[in-house]
A and B are shown apart, each in its own frame.
Chain A
Amino acid sequence: EVLVVESGGDFVQPGGSLRLSCAASGFIFSTYWMSWVRQAPGKGPEWVANISPDGSAKFYVDSVKGRFSISRDNAKNSVYLRINSLRTEDTAVYYCAASLHYWGQGTLVTVSS
C-alpha cells in the first residue's frame, strides 16, 4: 500500500521559518519525482516545487524562489521543504505528492501575526 505522510505544519508569525517533512512508503521512492503542492483556504491547488529522483534537479514556482528549498533523503524515503521568510499568503495546506500520482493528506501552515 502506498503511503505519503506530511508533517511539520504549524502556526508561525510573518518572517518565520518552517521545515516540512514527507515520509513515503509502498513504492520505489528513489525512482520518483517528488513535489510539494499547496492549497490556500477556498482556492485550488498550486504546485510549489519538485525534485528529481536523485535530487540533482529542483524547480520552484516563481512566487517562492529564494525562500523555499526542497530536498530529499532517499535512504529515509523522505522529502523536505524548507520555508523561510514566511508571508501571510503562504498560509495553506501543503501536500507532498509522488510524481503527482500519490498524494498525502497534507499539513497545515498558518502564517499570522
Chain B
Amino acid sequence: EVQLVESGGGLVQPGGSLRLSCAASGFTFSSYWMSWVRQAPGKGLEWVANIKQDGSEKYYVDSVKGRFTISRDNAKNSLYLQMNSLRAEDTAVYYCARSSIAAAPFDYWGQGTLVTVSS
C-alpha cells in the first residue's frame, strides 16, 4: 500500500525556520517526482515545489524562491522541505504528493502537516 506521511509541522515565529519531512512507503520512491503542495486555511491548493527522481531538477513557485529548499534522500525514502524566513502567509497545511513525471497527475497524497507562522 502506498503511504506518504508528513511530519515536522508546528508553530513558528515570523522569520523562523522549519523542516518538513515526508516518509514514503509501498512504492519505489526513487522512480517518482515528488512535490509539496500547500493549502492555507479556507483557501485553495497551491503547488510549492517539486523535485526529479535523482534530485537533478527542482522547481519552485515564485513566492518561495530563495526561502524554501526541496530535497530528497532516496536511500531513506524521504522527501524534505526546508523553510526559512517564514511569513504569516506561509501558514498552511503542507501535503507531499507523488507523480510519475513532472507533467503527470498527483496520484497519491499524504494527509498533510500544519504549519502556523505567528508571533
Partners in one complex: no
Residues of B in contact with A (beta carbons under 8 Å apart) = none
Residues of A in contact with B (beta carbons under 8 Å apart) = none
